Structure 1
Amino acid sequence: MAARRSAPGGGPGPAAGDPALADFPAQAPDTRRWCFADQLGPHFLDAPGQPVLLVESRGVFRRRRFHRQKAHLLLSALRHRAAELGEQALFLQTDSYAEALDQVTEPLSVCAPTTWPARDFVLRRRGVTVLEARGFVTRQADFRRWAEGRTRQRLLMDDFYRAARRAHDVLMDGAEPLGGTWNLDHDNREPPPADGRVPAPPPEWPVEDEIDEQVRADLDAWEAAGDVAFVGEDGPRLFPVTHAETVHRLEDFLAHRLRAFGPHEDAMLAGDPWLAHSMLSASLNLGLVDPADVVARAEQAHRASVAEGDPLPLNSVEGFTRQVMGWRDWIWHLYWHLGREYRHGNALEAYEEVPGWMGELEAEAVDANCLSSVLSDVRERGWVHHIPRLMVLGNYALQRGIRPLAITDWFHRLFVDGYDWVMVANVVGMSQHADGGVLATKPYAAGGAYIDRMSDYCGGCRYDPKKRVGEDACPFTAGYWAFLERNRERLAGNQRMRQPLNGLGRLRDLELVVEQEQLRGTQAP
């Protein structure tokens, strides 16, 4: 696999008007490399012995109230990297990045950071050479060439993914996709197995060490002193914090879990939050492993299994590959391409704040079993997979008219893999339809029937997913129809919403549904 080949089209990219979008140089091997806490893998260095600057800023945790396990993961990963590098790294523990940089007199280089504010900060620093971004399969300049001339509504993930597959020669058979089909997502939408068990062992969990112990002690002390505050429960570390741990989890996934991943990747089980997911998103977003290497290893595993006569299902391999080099890269590039103001979109005019019970992860306050179970999972682990995020948490916020930027911040703070670039497009665009249809052609709103079909949450719930009025009316079913009625005019021009909107006219109890849901508001359902 040629992971760094230019995208089709060639030639220089368009001039970037914003300095943060410049075509930065690729390398600066003779400088000390400043690595942010999400740039911790070996692929962020130009040479094995290159000197490194690592900065731990306590002030970051004062600005936002993060999940406790997210804070632990970030600090543990940063300190493990410092320990690995030893004398090769200058490790500064300060109150701010500016305070740390004031202690450094030598020239620095840094790979372009992953957020607008961080890029602005490094571009203002004298003596810091900003290099092109790493940690993604497709380069920013190549994405700009691909996007040139396309309207916002034509920046389709599937088109980008196909171009990237061709450019990097991933899962290809000459000029055609392996197996003859680009996208096998239609094979990956099965409900949970009837017996409630996915045929895959659980992930192998990392073993904590003395660094984790010290991180936990420091977080306890900071919290006790009133210096910082967290939300969510502490617990054993569930995610890798080193390159070696990440590679081990990847190899375990490819050997024991990838085979079962595809068909049930959209399913939800209360007793098995992991199903057959890779559990690599946090590691990828910490920069612990190069996603090009992840994709290459997945393809190698598939081709080796074919040669051995026991092929890994192509829908599982393709589905995983699409998540890593398709969706993840696309979301990253759209963060920059759509600009600084994209985060403020509010096409559906949603102005409610995140309710207190949701902000505090008070799962016991919620009777709706799906929402209560997912909130409990977030509280205990800082993670659930993409469907509970989209179709339970995001669906609830969409139906209840929660302010898009507020729910974006909630996801950013409370998920171990949440970063600004991850959540802005995912939440503002995909989940909340606040961009008016740039990322998704219709809102991801659904009633209780979807949750009932794709999960085991509805069994034993006090609410009936078939009912929209009454004490046992499902808040997602009723909320769906109230959402449509509230946004009837805003969505009238959306062709994909014509049938659902027409359905409003057939509801004899629509006024009762709307009145009931207005009274419910954002009270814990």
Structure 2
Amino acid sequence: MTAVRDDTPLWLFADQLGPAVHGGEHAHREVLLVEAQHALRKRRYHRQKLHLVLSALRHADRDLGDRATLMIADTYTAALEQFGRPVLVHQPTSFAAEKFVHRLKERGLVADVLPTPTFALPRDEFEQWAGNRTRFRMEDFYRDQRRRFDVLMDGAEPVGHRWNFDEENREPPPRMQRTLRVPAPYQPREDDIDEQVRRDLDRMDLDTVGVDGPRLFAVTPTEAQRALKRFIEHRMPTFGRYEDAIMAEDWAMSHSLFSVPLNLGVLHPLDAVHAAEQAYRNHRAPLAAVEGFIRQILGWREYMWHLYWHFGEDYVDNNELSAHTPLPDWWKDLDADAVTAECLRHALMGVRDRGWTHHIQRLMVLGNHALQRGYDPRRLTEWFATAYVDGFRWVMPTNVVGMSQHADGGMLATKPYAAGGAYINKMSDHCGSCVYDPRKRLGENACPFTAGYWAFVHRHQSRLARNNRTRRVVQNMERLGDLEDVIAQEKSRTRF
């Protein structure tokens, strides 16, 4: 890194708004914030996502006081040219933004590019860990993260003599309850900034998806700390046990709702991890719940971030299952009313109304449906990145292409995450009120997930038969007496 003047301003992107970026050694620097109108119009974003980003930028401007200059311009380049001084910037969080910043540096608008401070593990240290690996296991990475940061460790051994308590974190929802009956998550109070953001978005008349609604997620460091405190004290003890369950009348359940503040940079992952560990050490939360939470943040989230960079810019073009079906209009428009299957309808309602669903609805309902129907993985990745309020550009490629759609052929996950209606019936309370029967694969009330699963297995049977983890399902498929009828039914199905 070249020598940089001590008075060089620091330019913050909208996902770099926390003290890990503008505090510490940079606490003395002037800060530049930019609202680029072109970026808001570039894609068809969820309305609430645009609200969160603009609210975060404007709250950062207010909270930083005289340090901050907020500029509104058509493009970032125009803002920097108008600002008139070279700026420092931390590594952006996407390939496109990184290339853009280096072009700005060549023009002299950016003085230097600093390492990303909003993740626990630096990018160069992950590359040392990755070495010449061609296959990756999250568990290996996660254990090394625990050792490196001394999290839930007793010396050289994991607390409880186990690294992973996932088996204890897969309980179905309680059958005699409509909700988990836990305290509600922290919800920030909207203020004059939010009111102005809403008026400005109305005035811009942008092409968005979803509906407007109250701001549900923290967008400032102060709000993020309040959300963290409430989660640790009131919701963490029940998090792990039901983290894979779905309840129709309890959209948040015991989930932390930290993905937005983490991805905006206003909550540092190690702050959340250390707070969770302290809750266990203080006997305020069970080990299984704490370990499951830490695994999601210090393990999975960090893993996805680093594999995004490691796999490269072309990773999103992987399509090993030859899935080319366009996303249907009802999907792209979040038209939940056009859907009959309760699980799929509720998942789309969650995206429409909040721009958010938890990870099992993403993977085992929306992702599972897309996998069975062969939706194009690149287009699906773009949809997740724009329709979800936490869907920044680095988040979705590995989660969708690798984990959800198995489009990379197994670079990330050892098997496709396809499942029939039996799984959804076990892990949710949707099927009891659904017109489709998860036990039926043929007929007018055949579950589209159950029938779709067998059609998917048939379509990819040669690949699945070569995989030790999926070989048996091919054998099970071969014993189905009505397989041809099921396949014909699913080829002509237009109603879900």
Q: Same fold (TM over 0.5)?
A: yes
Any idea what the Cα deviations from partners look like across 1:442-470, whole Å, max 9, x if unmatched?
00000000000000010111000000000
- Structure 1 range deviating more: 193-202 or 243-252: 193-202
Residue of structure 2 aligned with 1:53, choices 22, 32, 49? 32
Paired residue total: 489
Aligned residue for 2:72, secondary structure, equals strand
Q: CA deviation at 1:85?
A: 1.2
Q: 1:194 aligns with which of 175, 190, 209?
A: 175
| Rounded Cα–Cα distance in structure 2 between residues aligned with 1:387 and 1:26 | 47
Shift of 1:350: 0.3
CA contact 1:26–1:132 (8 Å) conserved in 2: no
Kindly provide the CA deviation profile for residues 176-229 of structure 1, in whole angstroms up to 9, marking residues without a partner as x. 111111111111000001222324211121110000000000100111xxxx21
CA distance in 1, matches of 2:101, 2:393: 17
Contact 1:41 1:288 survives alignment (8 Å): yes
Task: Pick from 75, 81, 84 the counterpart of residue 60 of structure 2.
Answer: 81
Match of 2:353 in 1: 380
- AA aligned opposite 2:256: S
Shift of 1:300: 1.7
Q: Which residue of the partner structure matches residue 288 of structure 1?
A: 266
The match for 1:136 is 119
Where does 1:171-320 land on structure 2 (aligned, <5 Å)?
171-196=152-177, 197-223=179-205, 228-305=206-283, 311-320=284-293
The sequence identity of aligned pairs, in percent, is: 53
Cα contact 2:219–2:260 (8 A) shared by 1: no
Matched-pair contact (CA < 8 Å) for 1:350–1:404: yes
How far the C-alpha of 1:294 sits from its partner, in A, is: 1.4
Query: 1:43-122 residue pairs with structure 2 within 5 A?
Result: 43-45=20-22, 46-122=25-101
Q: CA RMSD in A?
A: 1.4
What amino acid does structure 1 have at the position aligned with 2:213? G
1:41 to 5, 15, 18: 18
2:468 alignment partner in structure 1: 495
Please say if 1:455 is aligned against 2:453.
no
Which whole-Å deviations, capped at 9, do the CAs of 1:131-183 have from their partners, x for residues lacking one?
111211111111111111322x1x21110011111011111100111111111
Partner residue, 1:7: none
CA distance in 2, matches of 1:169, 1:30: 36
Deviation at 1:106, TM superposition (A): 2.1
8 Å Cα contact 2:175-2:429 kept in structure 1: no
Which 10-residue stretch deviates more, 185-194 or 290-299? 290-299
Per the alignment, do residues 293 and 35 of structure 1 end up closer, same or farther by CA in structure 2, a change over 3 Å counting?
same
Give 1:25 shift. 8.2
Q: In the alignment, what sits opposite 2:491?
A: 518
- Structure 2: runs of 5+ lacking an equivalent: none
Gap runs ≥5 in structure 1: 1-23, 306-310
Contact map agreement 1:357 1:524 (CA 8 A) in 2 = no
The Cα of 1:27 is off from its aligned counterpart by 9.2
Q: CA deviation at 1:338?
A: 0.5
Q: Given that residues 342 and 431 in structure 2 are in contact (C-alpha distance below 8 angstroms), is that contact kept between their aligned partners in structure 1?
A: yes
Q: Counterpart in 2 of 1:5?
A: none
Match of 2:363 among 379, 385, 390: 390
What is the deviation of 1:107?
A: 2.6
Q: Which residue of 412, 431, 453 corresponds with 1:439?
A: 412
Shift of 1:90: 1.6
Q: Which moved more, 1:260-269 or 1:197-206?
A: 197-206
Find the aligned partners of 2:387 and 2:451 in 1 and give their Cα distance: 27
Report the Cα offset of residue 29 of structure 1: 5.6
Change (3 A) 1:461 1:69: same
Tell me if structure 2 keeps the 8 A contact 1:27–1:131: no
Give CA deviations for 1:358-404 in whole Å, capped at 9, x if unaligned: 11111111111110111111111100100000000000000000000
Structure 2 SS opposite 1:406: helix
Give me the whole-angstrom Cα distance separating, in 2, the residues matched to 1:283 and 1:524. Answer: 37
With over 3 angstroms needed to count, the CA separation of the structure-2 counterparts of 1:107 and 1:448, relative to structure 1, is: same
Provide Cα deviations, 1:256-306, integer angstroms capped at 9, x if missing partner. 00000001000000000111000111110010111111111211222122x
Q: Which amino acid aligns with 1:194?
A: R
- 1:49 positional shift: 2.8
- Residues in 1 aligned to 2:26 and 2:213: alpha-carbon distance in whole angstroms: 36
Structure 2 vs 1, CA of residues 125 and 190 (structure 1 numbering), >3 Å: closer, same or farther? same
User: Which amino acid counterpart does residue 144 of structure 2 have in structure 1?
Assistant: A
Q: Does 1:409 align with 2:382?
A: yes
8 Å contact from structure 1 (residues 199, 260) kept in 2: no
How many Å separate the matches in 1 of 2:333 and 2:5?
45
Structure 1 residue matching 2:217: 3-state secondary structure: coil
| CA shift in 2, pair 1:384/1:29, >3 Å | farther
Name the SS of the counterpart of 1:125 in structure 2. helix
Inter-partner Cα distance in structure 2 for 1:516 and 1:336: 41
Aligned residue identity for 2:102: L
Report the Cα distance in structure 2 between the residues aligned to 1:27 and 1:301, rounded to whole angstroms: 41
Give the partner amino acid of 1:348.
L
Contact 1:447 1:465 in 2 (8 A): yes
Partner of 1:358: 331
Q: Could you state the TM-score of these two structures normalised by the residue count of structure 1?
A: 0.91
Cα distance 1:505–1:85, how it changes in 2: closer, same or farther (>3 A)?
Answer: same
Deviations 1:225-276 (A, max 9, x none): xxx2111010111011110001000000000000000010000000001110
Q: Which amino acid aligns with 1:261?
A: F
1:28 is displaced (CA, Å) by: 7.8
Contact 1:29 1:47 in 2 (8 A): no
Q: Distance in 1 between matches of 2:90 and 2:268?
A: 14
Q: Distance in 1 between matches of 2:254 and 2:386?
A: 25
Whether the 8 Å CA contact 1:33–1:52 is kept in 2: the answer is: yes
Instruction: Tell me if 1:349 matches 2:322.
Output: yes
**TM-score normalised to structure 2 length:** 0.97
CA deviation vs aligned residue, 1:479-510 (integer Å, no higher than 9, x gap): 00001111112333211110001111101100
Deviation at 1:353? Answer: 0.7
Higher helix share: 2
